[in-house]
Amino acid sequence: MAIKKAATKKKVSTKSRLKKTSTKKKAATKKKAVRRAATKKKAVKRKVAKKKAVKKKAGAKKKAVKRKVAKKKAVKKKAGAKKKAVKRKVAKKKAVKKKAGAKKKAVKKATRKATSKKKASTKKKAAARRRTTKKKA
């Protein structure tokens, strides 16, 4: 009897067996699809994050370049200011020299004038002396 029971148990209709497997397959397929979708979602998220990071990096690079350019400009400006200051100094020195030269010239002129006046008066005196000596003789 037990053997007969086992035999009957073994014999399951093909239809029901197929039905069971197809249901299992469907479930497995669904599971796989869900897993795939999740993976895809993660991949998309990663891609988006990467894009953002790349953009951020590019932005940072741009900023760095801007900073560099600004620094260069500032350095140039400083150099220009230094050059101008040096030029001003040189010009001042020249002006001072010119003034000093003019002063020297004025002093020389005054001295010359005084000397020529002195000479003139001496000449006058000498002429007068000569006149008086001629009269005496």
Residue 101 lies in a domain: yes
Tally of helices (H runs) and strands (E runs) in the chain: 2, 0
pLDDT for 113: 83
Identity of the highest mean pLDDT range in 4-8, 29-33, 86-90, 127-131: 86-90
For residue 96, CA distances in Å to 68, 72, 79, 110 come to 42, 36, 26, 21
pLDDT for 20: 66
pTM of this structure:
0.33
pLDDT class of 70 with cuts at 50, 70, 90: very high
Q: How many domains does the chain have?
A: 1
Q: What is the mean pLDDT of residues 94-98?
A: 92
Residue 17 has pLDDT above 80, yes or no: no
Q: What is the mean pLDDT of residues 71-90?
A: 94
Q: What DSSP assignment string belongs to 1-67? A: -HHHHHHHHH---HHHHHHHHHHHHHHHHHHHHHHHHHHHHHHHHHHHHHHHHHHHHHHHHHHHHHH
Which of these ranges, 65-79, 83-97, 101-115, has the smallest mean pLDDT? 101-115
Residue 51 structural domain:
18-136
pLDDT for 112: 85
What's the chain's length in residues? 137
Residue 2 lies in a domain: no
Residue 23 lies in a domain: yes
Residue 13 lies in a domain: no
pLDDT for 6: 55
pLDDT for 60: 93
Residue 8 lies in a domain: no
Q: What is the mean pLDDT of residues 30-40?
A: 91
DSSP 1: -
CA distance 48 to 43: 9
Residue 75 lies in a domain: yes
